[in-house]
Amino acid sequence: MRKPKINYKYNILMLAILIFLVFFLITNIYTSINHLTVEKKIKRFGLENLYGFYYPEQENTIMYNWTRNEAVKILRKKGDVVCIPVGNSRPEIEENNVNLKITINDKIKCSYKMNSNDWKLVLINVKEIKDDYIKIKFDVDKTWRPIDLLEDSIDKRILGVKVGEIYWE
């Protein structure tokens, strides 16, 4: 009688696939149970989340970031009132007002109509929020591109509002 020929390459391949599947299953279960949300990352590593913001810029002595149509910052709560400087540089804003909605921790909502390019200070009482961190969400109803509205501009970004350095009282 002849012995059956064993295909070692096939067996090694099947073992490698099995090991990969077991590893994938274990890591998937682990991340499902111990998921690390953005808020947890910020709390754990002390990072500031800047979703929806462009790189910092400076206007005179004011440091700020442009937002897109939606932007979120998660910050450590350091007081009872959050002070948010907001501005705009949109041409013809007097005729094309921009409506800004600021939401904090999906609870406190503040609406603001921007009808000039002057800087304004938005003060929001967050005393009722007991969390150590707050999530500030900015939503604008109208965006603009400098390349479309300004002569000689090559800036193709889609801009919402300017947000200055946030501080606490």
Q: How far is CA 144 from CA 19, 48, 52, 109, in A?
A: 52, 26, 15, 24
Q: What is the pLDDT of residue 120?
A: 95
Q: What is the pLDDT of residue 104?
A: 94
Residues of the chain with pLDDT under 70: 1, 35-49
Domain count, the chain: 1
Residue 132 maps to a domain: yes
Residue 104 maps to a domain: yes
Residue 134 maps to a domain: yes
Rg (CA), the chain: 25
Q: What is the pLDDT of residue 49?
A: 65
Residue 19 maps to a domain: no
Q: What is the pLDDT of residue 100?
A: 97
Domain that holds residue 89: 42-168
Q: What is the pLDDT of residue 38?
A: 62
Q: What is the pLDDT of residue 42?
A: 64
- DSSP letter assigned to residue 55: -
Residue 135 maps to a domain: yes
Which residues, 6 or more positions from 155, have their beta carbon under 8 angstroms from its beta carbon? 145, 146, 147
144: domain CATH number is: 2.60.120.260
SS3 of residue 31 by DSSP: helix
**Terminal Cα-to-Cα distance of the chain (whole angstroms):** 91
